[in-house]
Amino acid sequence: MASMERQDGRGVETPSPEPPTLARTAARWGSQHAGARELANLYSPGKRCQEWISVILCFSLMAFNFIHLLANFHLGHVWYILLGIVAGILTADFASGLVHWGADTWGSVDLPVFGKAFIRPFREHHIDPTAITRHDFIETNGDNCMLTLVPLANMAFNFLTLSPAEIYHIYPFYCYLFALGIFVTLTNQIHKWSHTYFGLPRWVVFLQDCHIILPRKHHRIHHVAPHETYFCITTGWLNYPLEKLGFWRNLEDLIQGVTGEKPRADDLKWAQKVK
């Protein structure tokens, strides 16, 4: 996989399977790709506003719930807490794969509202994988923050209304839910780090090297066209087992058999856009 220098001197990953001769004609990937430019222009002020609100609410609820989890901690729960955290991370990894696979494989940017807001970033990411490294914190994390708002708000409401005995009872499940919420919320940030080759904080590289979060080398496997495997982008723990099971392939065959829709048809259309 090649690495290229950006204008600000920070190197970023580029997808590898492109023959160099194509550069002489129209851009086949990167920020100058015609489809990538069109997709980047669809990022609207309304969308930006939705992301800001989601980030502020989500991080406030997370802090609130974290304080209440600490306040209700009991040593007797330790093993259940650890189990809950691991299960939460695995669920988040699977959910990241399912959402990523769904958006990469089905639907179209032309779908009303949803297409522009939620499928567009996935199309942009395949033809301009470095764009994510230029997105700020709000654009990177806004959508995932929105996803976790309702469960986090529900947990906060329960901390305020349940009795201490009820909270004690439900505590391990809340540890599971909280770990799930944190990892779902941070998935795109972790994904962005997996595309960043210079200037990452040491602790982030350490977490990647230990495979606690998605390692850079591991995620490159997804970025080989036609982008049909290794969809999990939180920790990537489930990518190998799901690939061995042929999980995504079987699911695609099933859906294609029922609906007649061809997997990745829209993704391919954007990749081929040169004007």
**Terminal C-alpha separation, the chain:** 26
Q: Nearer Cβ to Zn ion, position 15 or 181?
A: 15
Looking at 26-34, 60-68, 102-110, 143-151, which segment touches Zn ion (CB under 5 A)?
102-110
Does 13 participate in binding Zn ion (rule CB under 5 A)? no
Q: Nearer Cβ to Zn ion, position 72 or 229?
A: 229
Residues touching Zn ion, count (CB under 5 A): 2
Smallest CA-to-CA distance from 101 within 254, 249, 1 is with 249
Binders of Zn ion among residues 205 to 244 (CB under 5 A) are 227
- Count, residues in the chain: 275
What's the closest the beta carbon of residue 1 comes to Zn ion, in angstroms?
A: 12
Residue 193: phi and psi, rounded to 5, are -60, -35
Name residue, tokens 């490159």: 220
What DSSP state is assigned to residue 267? H
What's the closest the beta carbon of residue 233 comes to Zn ion, in angstroms?
A: 7
Q: Look at residue 261 and give its three-state secondary structure.
A: coil
What's the closest the beta carbon of residue 68 comes to Zn ion, in angstroms?
A: 34
Does 104 participate in binding Zn ion (rule CB under 5 A)? yes
Q: Is the peptide bond prior to 129 cis by the omega test (within 30 degrees of 0)?
A: no
Q: Look at residue 4 and give its three-state secondary structure.
A: strand
Residue 28: phi and psi, rounded to 5, are -95, -15
What's the closest the beta carbon of residue 103 comes to Zn ion, in angstroms?
A: 8
Q: Nearer Cβ to Zn ion, position 33 or 227?
A: 227
Structure tokens of 180? 């799930």
- For Zn ion, which residue has the nearest CB? 104
Other Cβ atoms closer than 10 A to 192: 20
Q: Nearer Cβ to Zn ion, position 104 or 124?
A: 104
Q: Nearer Cβ to Zn ion, position 11 or 151?
A: 11
What's the closest the beta carbon of residue 231 comes to Zn ion, in angstroms?
A: 7
Q: Nearer Cβ to Zn ion, position 68 or 126?
A: 126
Report the C-alpha gap between 194 and 70 in whole angstroms. Answer: 31
Report the C-alpha gap between 64 and 155 in whole angstroms. Answer: 10
Strand partners, 3: 13
What's the closest the beta carbon of residue 25 comes to Zn ion, in angstroms?
A: 25
Is 178 within 8 Å of 67 (Cβ atoms)? Answer: no
What's the closest the beta carbon of residue 101 comes to Zn ion, in angstroms?
A: 8
Alpha-carbon Rg for the chain in angstroms: 20
What's the closest the beta carbon of residue 130 comes to Zn ion, in angstroms?
A: 10
Q: Nearer Cβ to Zn ion, position 68 or 227?
A: 227
Q: Nearer Cβ to Zn ion, position 29 or 178?
A: 29
Does 51 participate in binding Zn ion (rule CB under 5 A)? no
Other Cβ atoms closer than 10 A to 129: 21
* Interacting residues toward Zn ion by CB under 5 A: 104, 227
